Structure 1
């Protein structure tokens, strides 16, 4: 379980996040939405320890995040940020192997290499394993970085610990086929005793895949809960300043938003 209480964050005199409290449970697929500049990525940084809050605290299970040793945290938590470029000339396999760094000292084992291959296969990039990372398209780079964080949290059969996966717009550069493929993959990961926190912009994808939605506006949580309860017409009008219309999908019965 991840728990945050009364998180606030400011740069200079500007408050970017104000009094945010939430609980994220393993097995629950949580999606985060909000307009540009609402505080979504800031919240992710506070929940992962990349930034320290001005006020408040974060716990992983019953342990304060700031007290968890970095080697331990590197085996529990993985983060995919929006930054896709790398300053080094690496192969695709080299990039994915970065996710295995917490598990070996100097050289990866045969098992580490197999895990990297398995994760590339899971995101549809195994055939690119020897390619130079810099030569890939934006969407291909996004899938390789996703394979990297999957390799970091790869679970051995004997490992029953809670894992924490944070993804900041992981499908923004993908075509519609791969958007659904990746979200199905991540939803399955959430069911495997994993806390999953995913920032997205597509309300319809949140309605289709999320089990919990966090709607953020102007640095505060506007709503949190089941997508149908949070992503209402009035909430979308207030937060995104547009009037949505909903219909029912004829096959799935889910709500679909049109504008």
Structure 2
């Protein structure tokens, strides 16, 4: 598959500190890529560069050959959805209204009832449809995270009426979720990749990353260490060099479901 999203010589720095430096990457439609690395490796910064939230100090990100920052904001909103590490709302929206935000101004030929249907379907996918009438501010952290996942799912569904090729960016999407919903969210993301999306996620959990990703990107101090299959990336030597501890790569399960077997 050809690259949908490409980064060349990508660099970003703040106040003289280099957060990302000299990174070359490409991402294909239908792939599920997970970015891993220790704290401060530049994972979230790289994700924000790839989705267009940050402008690189050097290099460029291209979508099908077109520079990402040349794409109008309205079209970019149809092409990609972003779920950040944390999202806060200071208004007493209902859960349904928050999910519906993903469809506002997005899509072509959609009636009001169509947008409502997409929001409800997204809430079902995220396992929060039963919370639809609840005040968002009364929810737990994990419930709020699932509502925002529904919001990006609704955005992608509405955007699909205009853009056939899409990408989903997830920055630590499971940080506040229980194990059941961690696995459910990541399995939904993997299903979207199987359906043709380019899914790019940042995770700290190496076990889940090893079991779910098509390929891994390992960062350290803002630089790309290696990229490839989980078996190729998560070697004992590389883990020791990057994370600074002795880790046995053979202890990482080949499937995340091994974590929950009796």
Partners of 2:78 and 2:163 within 8 A in 1: no
Distance in 1 (CA, whole Å) between partners of 2:147 and 2:12 is 31
**2:39 is equivalent to residue 48 of structure 1:** no
- Which of 97, 114, 126 aligns to 1:94? It is 97
**Partner of residue 154, structure 2:** 151
Cα distance change on mapping 1:227 and 1:115 into 2, 3 Å = same
How far off is 1:87 after superposition?
2.1
Q: Give the Cα separation in 2 of the matches to 1:31 and 1:164.
A: 13
3 and 177 in structure 1: CA distance in 2 versus 1, 3 angstrom threshold: same
In the superposition, the TM-score normalised over structure 1's length comes to 0.92
- Quote how far apart the aligned CAs of 1:142 are: 0.5
Whole-Å separation in 1 of the counterparts to 2:130 and 2:208? 28
* Match in the other structure for 1:228: 231
Q: CA deviation at 1:102?
A: 2.6
Please name the residue that 1:140 is paired with: 143
Deviation at 1:252, TM superposition (A): 6.1
Task: Confirm whether residue 39 of structure 1 aligns to residue 42 of structure 2.
Answer: yes
Corresponding residue of 1:170: 173
CA deviations over 1:59-94 (Å, ceiling 9, x no partner):
011211011111111111110001222122211111
Give the match for residue 74 of structure 1: 77
Could you say what the CA RMSD is over the residues aligned between the two structures, in angstroms? 2.3
CA contact (8 A) 1:167 1:199 kept: yes
Conservation of the 8 A alpha-carbon contact between 1:248 and 1:254: no
When residues 79 and 8 of structure 1 are mapped into structure 2, their CA distance, relative to the original with a 3 A threshold, is same
TM-score of the two chains, using structure 2 as the length reference: 0.91
Cα deviation for residue 156 of structure 1 reads: 8.1
The alpha-carbon distance between structure 1 residues 169 and 110, as it changes in their structure 2 partners (threshold 3 A), is same
Equivalent positions of 1:112-127 (< 5 A) are 112-127=115-130
Deviation (angstroms), 1:247: 4.0
> Distance between the aligned counterparts of 2:142 and 2:200, measured in 1?
20
Gaps of 5+ in 2: none
1:12 Cα deviation (Å)?
Answer: 1.9
Q: Which residue of 2 aligns with 1:27?
A: 30
Counterpart secondary structure, 2:127: coil
Change (3 A) 1:14 1:207: same
Equivalent pair of 1:168/1:198 in contact (CA under 8 Å): yes
Aligned to 1:4: 7
